[in-house]
């Protein structure tokens, strides 16, 4: 059996046009050995969710820098549920204030990586949760 | 000047003796020292490091004279400081109006409006795609009624207003004109800027709507309309800022921006307007990043290259057409979430480079940049930073105080050379539009962004507080942050409903229909039609929808 | 940040469920079938069921291969083809293969982004694969993936592959019809023409016809095709300007029907099936050989040929 390769979708729901982080991070995730699919900007939650389903990814990394995360990220979770795939991990990244972290988790986001969190934390989280590999700090 | 040969000789000697011995004892920190632009930094620069044919009069000349390397005005800041202009806007027009008034009271000298994303993308606040977005990162404007509120109590005949608006720029300009006229102010006296630079939206900023061709036509329409009707208005701000903030190098920032500018000038000339009739009102917008000398040299090189382009390529006669006047913003992407107060220092250094580099106006970022929109407190510190540079540092008392620094002159020359290389390449590709459609520009920027990221991740590039001098016990929750008002959408939707009930809908329909017909004919200037629709209280979304129908929507290639 | 979340249990589907769902066109089942194949988790009985199911089916999908050098506009072309076909109520399935990094095994799967705007859409399915795990450019997974899509009843199945050499030749065996996409001004084109692909493909799509240099490329192309007997037709399109797309579809449809009516389609599919048998054999044996070579003792005094022969005989090969 071939090695288990992690598949990640980097999704940008909402009208946000900031794509520098998403593009750079897509490359960083590739360098970590993951297969990475990127939706591009200005996606609806349904677009992101259908992509995740078709590509059968392990993780969806949502990214939004313009303050729509509280409204838009939970809609992606809902869309995934509607499609029978709420088993896929959903992570939140971007300019997310601390007080929103719990609110997002209540709405089905598995983890939140706010301003200043380097990609290594996200990569380690994914390895730990998808591959079951404990990562040393 | 001393004999070039003699200096080189002594320099060789110094390098092989004093310098070499020292390096042998204490090795240098880096091998080699490089700028992100790919230029190697020598340990020392002398007059002999300048090109052999280096000529003061040709390369520098005098302020206010071709090639404007030392500045576009004869007195620069000895007459008047740069315009201090903080980018601001959030929530409803009422809230943003309050912030504007606060900033003016604090000594800010110009306004700069940030719109929310639905406005920038031509959607009314009640559009499905506007859910979660209304008033979040800028002010929500649906109709000229909102615009009236936004500028309530602000003297439009005195203050200059910059609006960061691109795809729907013509509509927002129309709204500004209508507001002024309804207050009894003549459009001829209005001063300000619309960004209106679509090409960089495709590669760096992301708020594009229409395909390149109709977008260029809209831009030409606004430039030509302003040349006749709103003569003190800058109808475009050709922007390198967003390209740089997407991760480009300093050289790419200038090259791609001037490449875009060439495209706009070509378009208007093709429409039959004489270059000297509009070129003086083209304005520019750049970033000021961390590397102090590189940034100063960049601004100087940009002025020189633009002057040459206008004179030699487009045959401009009026010196004003050759002047590169620009706004600067400090580089937000260098500002960190960690240890936010450090950002005040970064911003001060970057702002200083912009001032020494001869900027015409400046936005300084706030220390909470990476965390949220600025609070009143953080934006005040940012504004004070500019005031300290202006009133206390003394750098504004002399023109181009760094001119003649061997290093800066050499860098200016090298940056210029590299900019020309890019411009030649782009020209061979058929100009910026094909270069963008092919994804070439995006590829260059994305690669540079990735290299920057790698350098930080590998620790090769130090970011204080992030990969060195980290504070493990840092608690960011102590910072009081700006929070968006979640009820803005509701309020806007209600206002829209009332507007649609109150206005003369038949008239609106007719004017929108006229606009559609005008849009179908490439040779009709759309500005008058848009102004009439705006005056009749057609909404931003309704006007954009008409244009969407005629022009279609564009998706540029995504390179990642 | 290390807030413990309870680990989610990844959706598990039995092969029975996967099969039942995929033949109904259910995306979750379809997507999972593709993952199982790609991860070599699918049993041979699942694959056999799929092949048997397809063999019984009356309505065959049109399987179209799109190949060409990097950046010629394959993905853009596929997006406008799909857009046009969707408007005609067709069901379209797309498979795209991108190279993976030999060092890390990771990959950026970038083709999808060009038709992302067509989603959400229940008649469009897109799946990105990396070339990881392919031995010598041979890839049995993609062949089987096409069969899975066929079982899910798409009207058109489009396969995008990149690269020069083996891969393109493979795609010809994998599809009913293959188009080579070329574009003006790309150095790779000439290499393509020289590699002999031109004799194998069914048509050449000259993309980016909107560019000023397009006519020059057509000139070069003509001078090459003249030397090739029964050379493929050249269809000019501009994917980004959406020009010539309807004509291209008509061309493909006609050509496909012609193949069908003349019995060539059956012939091609038989060849395809045989080729896939060979593919799997090469893949399986190739992996075994790879493992042997990696582990094998070094005996510099023995000739490598002797080791090869004796080992293969040990494995029961009559060589
Ligand atoms: C660069 C930038 C821009 C560029 C964007 C260029 C581009 N193509 O992306 C430009 C200049 C165009 C821009 C424009 C705007 N911007 Co801006 N921008 C920034 C800035 C300065 C940096 C963001 C960035 O790209 N950093 C570089 C990346 C690599 O780092 P990072 O985002 O910190 O990401 C790190 C981690 O968080 C993590 N990570 C993040 N995302 C992901 C994703 C994945 C998959 C992974 C694994 C990891 C990961 O890893 C990264 C590396 O360590 C931020 C402020 C800041 N300093 O963060 C403002 C900021 C995001 N912008 C802001 C605003 C308001 C805007 C505008 C909307 C303004 C306006 N009204 O017009 C516009 C519109 C843009 C649009 N179309 O949406 C605000 C948002 C406010 C808020 N949310 O409350 C910010 C916070 C600035 C501010 N304080 O006001 N912007
Ligand atoms: N001028 C022009 N550009 C096009 C056309 N079609 C595609 N492009 C551009 O060509 C570039 C490459 O397009 P893709 O569709 O990604 O090409 P590809 O062949 O799929 O590329 P790979 O998947 O990397 O091999 C993009 O920038 C497209 O916008 C066209 O008809 N005309
Ligand atoms: Mg492709």
- List the beta bridge partners of residue B299: none
State pTM to two decimals: 0.95
CA distance B465 to C93: 49
**Rounded (10°) CA dihedral C64, C163, C68, C138:** -20
CA distance B268 to B265: 5
- For residue A87, the enclosing domain spans 7-130
Q: Which ligand is nearest to the CA of C73?
A: 2
Strands in B98-225 per DSSP E: 111-114, 161-164, 192-194
> Could you tell me how far CA C303 lies from the centroid of its own chain?
39
Mean pLDDT of chain C: 88
pLDDT for the residue B383: 96
Which residue among B86, B133, B245, B463 has the greatest number of ligand 1 atoms within 8 angstroms of its CB, and so is best to mutate?
B245
Question: Could you tell me if B337 and B476 are in contact, meaning their C-beta atoms sit under 8 angstroms apart?
Answer: yes
pLDDT(C287) > 90: no
Strands in B347-484 per DSSP E: 361-363
Instruction: Choose, out of B211, B442, B557, the residue to mutate when testing the contact with C (most C CBs < 10 Å).
Output: B557
Structure token pair of residue A55: 């590509």
Looking at the fold, whether C94 and C219 belong to one and the same domain comes out as: yes
pLDDT(C93) > 70: yes
Q: CA quadruple C31, C33, C39, C41: dihedral positive or negative?
A: positive
Residues 6+ apart with CB under 8 A from C116: A39, A40, A43, A47, A51
Nearest to B305 by CA among B359, B256, B354, B269: B256
Rg (CA), chain C: 21
Segment A69-99, tens digit of pLDDT: 999 999 999 999 999 999 999 999 999 999 9
**Domain holding A95: CATH number?**
3.40.50.280
In a domain, C5, yes or no: no
pLDDT(B285) > 70: yes
Q: What is the mean pLDDT of residues B137-154?
A: 97
Q: What is the mean pLDDT of residues B392-420?
A: 98
- For residue C199, the enclosing domain spans 59-262
Segment C225-251, tens digit of pLDDT: 777 777 889 999 999 899 999 999 999
Question: Could you tell me if B519 and B547 are in contact, meaning their C-beta atoms sit under 8 angstroms apart?
Answer: yes
Segment B228-282, tens digit of pLDDT: 999 999 999 999 999 999 999 999 999 999 999 999 999 999 999 999 999 999 9
Q: What is the mean pLDDT of residues B502-512?
A: 98
Q: What is the mean pLDDT of residues B483-488?
A: 89
Which residues of A sit within 8 Å Cβ distance of B? 14-20, 22-24, 26-28, 38, 40-42, 44, 66-68, 70-72, 95, 97-98, 114-116, 118-120
Write down the domain spans for chain B: 56-91+195-471, 496-551
Measured from the Cα of A29, ligand 1's closest atom is 47
pLDDT for the residue C43: 87
pLDDT(B479) > 90: no
Residue nearest to atom 53 of ligand 1 (CA): A118
Task: Report the 10 Å Cβ neighbour count for B550.
Answer: 15
C-alpha distance across the termini of chain A, in Å:
30
Task: Establish if C27 touches chain A: CB-CB under 8 angstroms.
Answer: yes
pLDDT for the residue C300: 86
CA distance B430 to B445: 19
Q: What is the mean pLDDT of residues C302-316?
A: 91
Nearest to B463 by CA among B328, B333, B298, B287: B333
Lowest mean pLDDT among B152-161, B334-343, C96-105: C96-105
Segment B20-48, tens digit of pLDDT: 999 999 999 999 999 999 999 999 999 99
- DSSP letter assigned to residue B464: B
In a domain, A136, yes or no: no
Q: Which ligand is nearest to the CA of A14?
A: 1
Determine the 3-state secondary structure of B39 from DSSP.
coil
Which residue among B95, B366, B370, B454 has the greatest number of ligand 1 atoms within 8 angstroms of its CB, and so is best to mutate?
B370
Residue C190 binned pLDDT confidence (cut-offs 50, 70, 90): low
Nearest CA-CA distance, residue A123 and chain B, Å? 13
Question: Could you tell me if B33 and B27 are in contact, meaning their C-beta atoms sit under 8 angstroms apart?
Answer: no
Nearest to B149 by CA among B108, B89, B193: B89
Q: Which ligand is nearest to the CA of B346?
A: 1
Segment B525-557, tens digit of pLDDT: 999 999 999 999 999 999 999 999 999 999 888
pLDDT for the residue C2: 45
The architecture of the domain spanning B56-91+195-471 is Alpha-Beta Barrel (3.20)
**Domain holding C117: CATH number?**
3.40.50.300
Which residue among C82, C240, C245, C247 has the greatest number of ligand 2 atoms within 8 angstroms of its CB, and so is best to mutate?
C240
pLDDT for the residue C299: 85
Across B52-87, b (16+ Cβ under 10 Å) vs e yields: eebeeeebbbebbbbbbbbbbbeebbeeebbbbbbb
Nearest to B366 by CA among B395, B392, B337, B408: B337
The total number of structural domains that make up chain A: 1
pLDDT(A137) > 50: no
pLDDT for the residue A1: 41
The total number of structural domains that make up chain C: 3
Task: Report the 10 Å Cβ neighbour count for B393.
Answer: 13
Mean pLDDT of chain A: 94
Nearest CA-CA distance, residue C137 and chain B, Å? 25
Q: What is the mean pLDDT of residues C118-141?
A: 83
Task: Establish if B430 touches chain C: CB-CB under 8 angstroms.
Answer: yes
Lowest mean pLDDT among A99-103, B67-71, B480-484, C26-30: B480-484
CB pairs under 8 A between A and B: 87
Looking at the fold, whether C219 and C297 belong to one and the same domain comes out as: no
In a domain, C2, yes or no: no
How many CA atoms within 13 Å lie on the side-chain side of C298? 2
In a domain, A101, yes or no: yes
pLDDT for the residue C101: 85
Cα B453–Cα B458–Cα B464 angle in degrees, nearest 5: 80
Residues 6+ apart with CB under 8 A from C219: none
Measured from the Cα of B207, ligand 1's closest atom is 77
Strands in B233-353 per DSSP E: 233-234, 236-239, 282-288, 326-330
Residues of B in contact with C113 (CB under 8 A): 558, 560
Nearest CA-CA distance, residue C211 and chain B, Å? 8
Percentage of residues in chain C with pLDDT exceeding 90? 55
pLDDT(C295) > 90: no
CA distance B183 to C57: 74
In C, minimum Cα distance to B557 occurs at C114
Q: Secondary structure of chain C in the HEC alphabet?
A: CCCCCCCCCCCCCCHHHHHHHHHCCCHHHHHHHHHHHHCCCCCHHHHHHHHHHHHHCCCCCEEEEEEECCCCCHHHHHHHHHHHHHHCCCCEEEEEEECCCCCCCCEEECCHHHHHHHCCCCCEEEEEEECCCCECCECHHHHHHHHHHHHCCCCEEEEEEECCCHHHHHHHHHCCEEEEEECCCCCHHHHHHHCCHHHCCCEEEECCCCCCCHHHHHHHHHHHHCCCCCCCEEEECECCCCECHHHHHHHHHHHHHHHHHCCHHHHHHHHHHHHHHHHHHHHHHHHHHHHHHHHCCCCCCCCHHHHHHHHHHHCCCCC
Residue C169 binned pLDDT confidence (cut-offs 50, 70, 90): low
**Rounded (10°) CA dihedral B313, B213, B215, B315:** 10
Segment A13-70, tens digit of pLDDT: 999 999 999 999 999 999 999 999 999 999 999 999 999 999 999 999 999 999 999 9
The string of DSSP letters for B481-516 reads -----TTHHHHHHHHHHHHHHHS-HHHHHHHHHHHH
């Amino acid at each position: 059996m071939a090695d288990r390769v992690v598949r990640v979708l980097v999704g940008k729901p909402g009208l946000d046009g900031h794509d520098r982080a998403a593009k750079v991070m897509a490359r960083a995730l590739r360098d970590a050995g993951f297969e990475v699919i990127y939706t591009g900007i200005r996606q609806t939650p349904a677009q992101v969710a259908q992509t995740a389903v078709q590509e059968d990814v392990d993780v969806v990394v949502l990214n939004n820098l313009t303050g729509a995360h509280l409204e838009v990220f939970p809609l992606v979770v809902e869309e995934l549920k509607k499609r029978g795939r709420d088993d896929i991990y959903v992570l939140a990244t971007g300019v997310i204030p601390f007080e929103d972290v719990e609110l997002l988790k209540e709405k089905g986001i598995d983890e939140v990586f706010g301003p200043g969190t380097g990609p290594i934390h996200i990569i380690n989280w994914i390895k730990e949760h998808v591959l079951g590999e404990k990562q040393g700090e | 000047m001393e004999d070039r040969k003699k200096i080189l000789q002594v320099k060789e000697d110094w390098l092989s003796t004093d310098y070499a011995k020292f390096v042998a004892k204490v090795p240098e920190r880096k091998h080699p020292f490089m700028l992100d632009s790919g230029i190697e930094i020598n340990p020392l620069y002398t007059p002999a490091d300048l090109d052999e044919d280096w000529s003061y009069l040709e390369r520098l000349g005098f302020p206010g004279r071709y090639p404007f390397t030392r500045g576009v005005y004869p007195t620069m800041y000895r007459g008047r400081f740069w315009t201090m202009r903080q980018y601001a806007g959030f929530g409803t027009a009422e809230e943003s109006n309050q912030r504007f008034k606060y900033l003016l009271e604090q000594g800010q000298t110009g306004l700069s409006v940030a719109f929310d994303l639905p406005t920038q993308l031509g959607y009314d606040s009640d559009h499905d795609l506007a859910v979660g977005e209304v008033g979040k990162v800028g002010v929500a404007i649906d109709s000229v009624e909102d615009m009236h509120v936004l500028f309530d109590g602000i003297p439009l005949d005195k203050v200059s207003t910059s609006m960061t608006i691109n795809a729907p720029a013509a509509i927002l300009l129309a709204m500004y004109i209508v507001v002024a006229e309804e207050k009894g102010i003549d459009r001829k006296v209005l001063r300000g800027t619309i960004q209106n630079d679509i090409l960089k939206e495709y590669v760096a900023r992301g708020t594009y709507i229409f395909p390149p061709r109709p977008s260029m036509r809209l831009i030409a329409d606004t430039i030509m309309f302003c040349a006749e009707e709103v003569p003190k208005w800058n109808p475009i701000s050709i922007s390198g800022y967003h390209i740089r903030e997407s991760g480009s190098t300093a050289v790419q920032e200038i090259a791609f921006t001037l490449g875009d500018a060439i495209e706009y000038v070509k378009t208007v000339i093709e429409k039959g307007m004489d270059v000297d009739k509009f070129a003086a009102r083209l304005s520019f917008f750049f970033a000021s990043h961390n590397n102090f000398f590189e940034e100063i040299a960049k601004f100087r090189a940009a002025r020189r290259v633009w002057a040459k382009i206008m004179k030699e390529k487009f045959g401009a006669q009026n010196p004003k057409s050759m002047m590169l006047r620009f706004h600067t913003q400090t580089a937000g992407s260098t500002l960190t979430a960690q240890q936010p107060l450090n950002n005040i220092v970064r911003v001060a250094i970057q702002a200083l480079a912009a001032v020494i580099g001869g900027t015409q106006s400046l936005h300084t970022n706030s220390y909470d940049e990476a965390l949220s929109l600025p609070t009143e407190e953080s934006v005040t510190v940012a504004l004070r930073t500019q005031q300290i540079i202006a009133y206390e540092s003394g750098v504004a008392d002399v023109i181009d105080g760094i001119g003649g620094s061997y290093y800066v002159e050499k860098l200016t020359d090298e940056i210029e050379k590299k900019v020309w290389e890019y411009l030649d390449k782009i020209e061979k590709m058929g100009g910026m539009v094909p270069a963008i459609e092919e994804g070439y520009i995006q590829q260059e920027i994305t690669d540079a962004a990735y290299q920057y990221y790698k350098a930080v991740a590998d620790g090769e590039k130090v970011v204080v507080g992030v990969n060195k001098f980290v504070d493990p016990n840092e608690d960011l929750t102590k910072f009081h942050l700006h929070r968006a008002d979640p009820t803005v959408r509701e309020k806007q939707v209600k206002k829209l409903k009332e507007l649609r009930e109150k206005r003369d809908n038949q008239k609106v329909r007719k004017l929108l229909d006229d606009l559609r017909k005008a849009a179908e004919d490439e040779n009709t200037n759309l500005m008058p039609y848009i102004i009439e629709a705006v005056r009749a209280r057609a909404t931003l979304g309704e006007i954009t929808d008409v244009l969407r129908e005629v022009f279609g929507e564009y998706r540029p290639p995504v390179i990642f | 940040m290390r807030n413990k979340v309870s680990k989610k249990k990844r959706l598990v589907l039995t092969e029975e469920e996967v099969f039942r769902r995929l033949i109904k066109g259910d995306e979750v089942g379809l997507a999972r079938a593709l993952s199982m194949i790609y991860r070599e988790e699918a049993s041979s009985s699942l694959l056999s069921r799929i092949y048997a199911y397809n063999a019984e089916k009356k309505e065959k999908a049109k399987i179209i291969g799109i190949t060409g050098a990097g950046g010629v506009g394959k993905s853009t072309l596929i997006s406008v083809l799909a857009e046009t076909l969707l408007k005609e109520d067709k069901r379209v399935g797309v498979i795209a293969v991108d190279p993976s990094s030999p060092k890390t095994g990771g990959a950026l799967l970038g083709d999808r982004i060009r038709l992302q705007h067509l989603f959400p859409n229940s008649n469009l399915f897109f799946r990105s694969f990396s070339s990881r795990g392919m031995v010598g450019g041979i890839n049995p997974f993609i062949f089987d993936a096409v069969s899975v899509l066929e079982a899910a009843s798409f009207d058109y199945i489009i396969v995008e592959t990149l690269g020069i050499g083996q891969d393109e030749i493979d795609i010809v065996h994998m599809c009913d019809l293959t188009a080579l996409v070329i574009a003006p001004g790309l150095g790779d084109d000439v290499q393509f023409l020289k590699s002999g692909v031109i004799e194998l493909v069914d048509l050449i799509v000259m993309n980016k016809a909107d560019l000023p240099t397009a006519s020059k490329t057509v000139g070069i192309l003509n001078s090459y095709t003249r030397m090739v007997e029964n050379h493929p037709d050249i269809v000019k399109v501009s994917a980004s300007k959406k020009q010539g797309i309807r004509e291209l579809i008509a061309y493909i449809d006609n050509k496909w029907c012609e193949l069908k009516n003349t019995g060539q389609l059956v012939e091609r599919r038989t060849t395809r099936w045989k080729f896939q048998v060979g593919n799997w054999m090469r893949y399986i044996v190739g992996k075994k050989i790879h493992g042997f070579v990696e582990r094998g003792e070094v005996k510099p005094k023995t000739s490598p040929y002797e080791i090869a022969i004796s080992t293969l005989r040990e494995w029961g090969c009559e060589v």
